């Protein structure tokens, strides 16, 4: 999204999807999510932290769609499943 045009862009998306299906986080919310998770290392930029630890935001998205983040598969499990499927 281009900076400063969020209202126009959100308006376009809202024409295609109900607002209940959209998860929109502003920088303050991203900061709060990282604070909730009690990250040991502070960063001057929460979005940089997001890049370093996307699992935190993935958990928030999973919660938004009404699922339990604890049910996520680990990278190791996903890798194992992919290997098994590629052999079949």
| pLDDT, tens digit, 9 for 90 and up, residues 62-81 | 888 999 988 888 888 888 88
- Look at 33 and 48; give whichever has higher pLDDT: 33
What's the chain's Rg over C-alpha atoms? 17
Rounded Cα gap, residues 62 and 76, in angstroms = 19
CA distances from 87 to 70, 77, 78 (A): 28, 16, 14
Rounded Cα gap, residues 71 and 59, in angstroms = 10
- What percent of the chain clears pLDDT 90, i.e. is strictly above it? 9
**Average pLDDT of the chain?**
77
Provide the residue ranges of all domains of the chain, joining segments of one domain with +: 26-87
What is the number of alpha carbons within 13 Å of residue 46 lying toward its C-beta?
A: 16
């Amino acid at each position: 999204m281009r900076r400063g045009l969020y209202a126009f862009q959100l308006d376009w998306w809202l024409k295609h999807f109900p607002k209940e299906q959209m998860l929109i986080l502003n920088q303050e919310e991203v900061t709060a999510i990282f604070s909730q998770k009690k990250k040991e290392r502070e960063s001057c930029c929460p979005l940089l932290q997001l890049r370093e630890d996307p699992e935190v935001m993935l958990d928030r998205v999973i919660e938004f769609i009404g699922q339990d983040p604890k049910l996520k598969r680990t990278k190791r499990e996903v890798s194992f499943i992919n290997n098994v499927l590629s052999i079949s």
